[in-house]
Structure formats: C-alpha cells, structure tokens
Amino acid sequence: MKAAILEETGRIEVRDVEDLRPARDEVLIRTACAGVCGSDLHAFRGRHPFRKPPVILGHELAGTVVEVGHDVGDVRLNDRVTMMPLVSCGRCRLCRMGRENICLDKRVPGVGGWLGSFAEFALAKSSVTFRLGEATAFELGVLAEPLAVGVHAVTRQARLEAGSRVLVLGGGTIGILTALAARAAGAGDIVITDLFEFNLALTQTLCGAATVHVGREGWEADLARAYPEKFDVTFLCSGAPATVGQAVRLTRRAGRIVVTGLFLEPVPMDLTAVTLGELEVVGSQIYDHRDFRTAVDWIDSGRFDFRKLVTHTFPLARAQDALTLLADRTEDAVKILLQM
C-alpha cells in the first residue's frame, strides 16, 4: 500500500510500505480520506513531542472496513466507519477512574507501531471503530476526531452552564469546533479570537460567535470594555504564548480556563492573578468514548454545517503540498483533507 511518510523535518515522501493484516480484535479500513491536524504540522516542523521522523502521520480518518479479525464484536465488512485514535490499557488507576484519555500506557497512531492514517489502509481495534450513518459523507466523518476534542473540553472539563459567557482564544479547527460545542451546550455570548478573518467569519456563520481580530491594536482593551464582567469560561485553543496572559486577564473571578492548545515551550502565567481571582485552570486532553460517540452522532444528524470547515482536499500523492499550505498559510485554510 502507499503511505505518506515524514522522512525528515519538512519533507514527506509517498511510497509503498508493507501491506497490513488485522489481528483478531482489529479491522482493516480502506481509507477514504484523512484529516491534516495541527499536531501533524508540529511534527512536520520538527516540534512534536513524540511523533518523530520517519513516521506515517495522521490520526483522523474515515473509510470502509475491508477485512476483520475473528473477534471484532459487531463491526462488519463494508461498514462505513471512523476511528477513535486512542487505545488505553484498561487496567491502570486512571482507566479504572474512567480517564482513559490520560492513561499513561495508551497507544496512539504514529508511535509504538500503530501506523498513522496518511495511507491507503489503516488498522484499528474494533473497540475504537465507530460506524457512520449511511448518509454521512466520509469528508464529514473524518471530522469526528477534532470535534470530539471540543466536546470533551466543553462537556467534561469546562462544566459549562446554560447562558455562560465563553471566550475562545484561537480560531483554528479545534477553536471553531469548541465554539460549536459550547453553542450546543447552551452558552450565551461566545467570542472567538484569531489572526485570520476567514476563520473568524466561518465561526460567526456556523454558530453566531462574535469575533475579534487579534492583529488589531487595542483589541483586548476593547473586549474588556464590551464585557466588563469578563468571561465565565475561556478556552485556550492556541499554542501562542500570549494567549495565556489574555486568558487570565479576561476570565472573571471564580471563572475557569480550559487549556486544549499544545504549548511547545514553558509559558509564564500570573499566578498571583489566579490566586486572587480563584481562577480554575484545567487541562483538556483529547476525549473518551463518550465524547467520540457524541461527535459522531452530531455529524450524522447534521447538527451543524460541518462541511464548511473543509477548505482544501489533496490526493495522498500531494501530502507534501497539504502540509506546506498549512505551514505557510498561503491561502485561507481551516481543515485540509487527504483523499486516497
């Protein structure tokens, strides 16, 4: 089969690799499309903490089951599916607490022998294989993974209440989907910030969020004047160091800051402000089975117009171009897909 392999920082080569065969509890999926994630960009730039060349990138996919092991439960040949790219150990204290997403022994694509999804075929445990609705396009099914990140941040970590004022710092794919999840959870005012007008306009269209362009001088002071009571919950969906201070300053006392962005270096935080305001700062790491199920159900039901998120589609042979576009941002881009 053909796969796109990150051979070294900034260079992807598409070539043949060994065909895959499923183990007894696995299914073989013919990949229809795979999503390009911000973490793939980190690896492409040589800054990912554990995905290192040579590696097949990718962990978002949708496709068709073409082979099954002999112990795969209710997954069947020709099922249209997506995959939750996480297998926890199921035995440790964290797993017993229901915190499979932060299991220290979990497996994810791109490490430990589990190949990434930038390939014509992919293997998945049947336990993390989710059927898609018959009417759900593969291009939408692939969005279940990033949507589950937003669902987890909002429903598990933010404990959002109806009518809450929400600030989303960072309007990439995860930021936009987090704003959508907040809208679905009954948030009141939602404000999203970003450097790209295209992303801001898209979020406004999808869920009615107010938008702030952070390249405009004085934006933070203007936002503070517009919301003198500040925000109940702030989501850090960008890895830009400046957003940490923004979150602390713009979140109300006794409010909550939820961190989903991947910060690639230590970032200072005004802990005096955190203490005096009794701010809660909580991490949000990917998702669990419940979040993923919710994400698939929302996509199947057409709850939001998710198709608007997909701005570019490239064939697998042009994986280098897809990552370069995301890295250089020579065009407006949100979610980029690879088609097999």
Between the alpha carbon of residue 236 and those of residues 93, 227, 259, the distances in Å are: 28, 18, 5
Look at residue 113 and tell me whether its pLDDT is greater than 90: no
Phi–psi pair at 270, nearest 5 degrees: -80, 90
Look at residue 110 and tell me whether its pLDDT is greater than 90: no
**For range 221-226, the mean pLDDT:** 97
Report whether 25 contacts 61 (CB < 8 A).
no
Phi–psi pair at 54, nearest 5 degrees: -80, 135
Look at residue 59 and tell me whether its pLDDT is greater than 90: yes
**For range 176-204, the mean pLDDT:** 97
Look at residue 100 and tell me whether its pLDDT is greater than 90: yes
**Band of the pLDDT at 111, cuts 50, 70, 90?**
confident
Percent of the chain past pLDDT 90, that is, above it, reads 93
What is the reported pLDDT for 48?
Answer: 85
Distance (Å, whole) CA 95 – CA 106: 10
Q: What is the mean pLDDT of the chain?
A: 96
What is the reported pLDDT for 327?
Answer: 92
- Domain at 2-142+305-339, CATH from 3.90.180.10, 3.40.50.10540, 3.30.465.10, 2.60.120.260: 3.90.180.10
What is the reported pLDDT for 49?
Answer: 79
Distance (Å, whole) CA 190 – CA 17: 46
* CB < 8 Å & 24+ apart, contacts of 104-111: 108/59, 109/56, 109/58, 109/59, 109/85, 110/43, 110/50, 110/51, 110/55, 110/56, 110/57, 110/58, 110/59, 111/50, 111/51, 111/55
Cα 140 off chain centre by: 14
Given this chain, do its domains 2-142+305-339 and 149-283 carry the same CATH topology? Answer: no
What are 114-155's pLDDT values in tens digits? 999 999 999 999 999 999 999 999 999 999 999 999 999 999
Domain boundaries along the sequence of the chain = 2-142+305-339, 149-283
- Cβ count within 10 A of residue 35: 25
Distance (Å, whole) CA 241 – CA 217: 18
**For range 104-115, the mean pLDDT:** 90
Distance (Å, whole) CA 263 – CA 29: 32
What is the pTM assigned to this prediction? Answer: 0.96
Distance (Å, whole) CA 249 – CA 258: 14
SS3 125: strand
**Band of the pLDDT at 109, cuts 50, 70, 90?**
very high
- Domain at 149-283, CATH from 3.40.50.720, 2.40.50.100, 3.90.580.10, 3.40.80.10: 3.40.50.720
How much of the chain is in helix, strand and coil states, percent to nearest 5? 35, 25, 40
What are 2-14's pLDDT values in tens digits? 999 999 999 999 9
**Band of the pLDDT at 232, cuts 50, 70, 90?**
very high
Q: Which of 247, 292, 218 is nearest to 60 (CA)?
A: 292
What are 276-328's pLDDT values in tens digits? 999 999 999 999 999 999 999 999 999 899 999 999 999 999 999 999 999 99
What is the reported pLDDT for 50?
Answer: 81
